[in-house]
Chains A and B, each alone.
Chain A
């Protein structure tokens, strides 16, 4: 079973920040939080990941709570091309550790 829970869907106005929450209350000390997104009929795309500290890259920011039981992915200025299903995943850093996908959050960007 997936170790994360996410809201099934969210709406966000174009140009505004999209904040996608994720709960992972059973996360282990060696597990990272990864975010991927899947645009229709494509393979998932890596967005960002983190262990304890907040992270930022050219795509998004990741805010992880101090107890690591939840996190928020922030898309600072959402565009229509950000419409996708966003998956929050917890996984160790081992390259052999498999990823179990939850149902994700379907993000709709409204023009």
Chain B
């Protein structure tokens, strides 16, 4: 079945450094991917919609200069946390939809395994 994969699954970095997280759709093309963050014991919060070949659309309150999103190909979106600080420590999750038709479920959204970021 369709799979969305994230890398790395966990990362520890020093305060002030930048961290890049990759999200890949392994056996389908995804023109749109979504990025979420999740704090402990809380629900997923949508950060931004990543659009292939164009600028990402950020949700209200999410700093676009802090969380850089690049969707350069139909199978890869990246999230870069710039100048990370301890408050950026979180679980980051990406997702993508299958295309409609061709035997795929309508609008079914698949999620990556998540990337846990710890900023010291």
A contact residues vs B (CB 8 Å cutoff): 32, 34, 36, 38, 41-46, 49, 85, 87, 91-104
Contacts and interface: CB of A to CB of B under 8 A. Distances in A.
B99 A99 contact: no
Contact of B97 (A85, A87, A96, A102): A96
B32 interface: yes
Given A32-B106, A49-B105, A49-B108, A98 B43 contact: no
Contacts of B31: 95-96
B46 A34 contact: no
Secondary structure at the B interface, as helix, strand, loop or mixed, is strand
A95 B105 contact: no
Secondary structure at the A interface, as helix, strand, loop or mixed, is loop
Interface residues on B, range: 20 to 34
Nearest to B36: A101
A20 B106 CA distance: 23
A93 B117 CA distance: 32
Interface of B: 4, 6, 31-32, 34, 36, 43-46, 49, 91, 93, 95, 97-100, 105-114, 116
B108 A98 contact: no
Contact of A103 (B43, B49, B100, B116): B43
A98 B51 CA distance: 12
B108 A43 contact: no
B8 to A, nearest CB: 14
B109 A43 contact: no
A64 B60 CA distance: 32
B107 to A, nearest CB: 4
B35 to A, nearest CB: 10
A32 B97 CA distance: 14
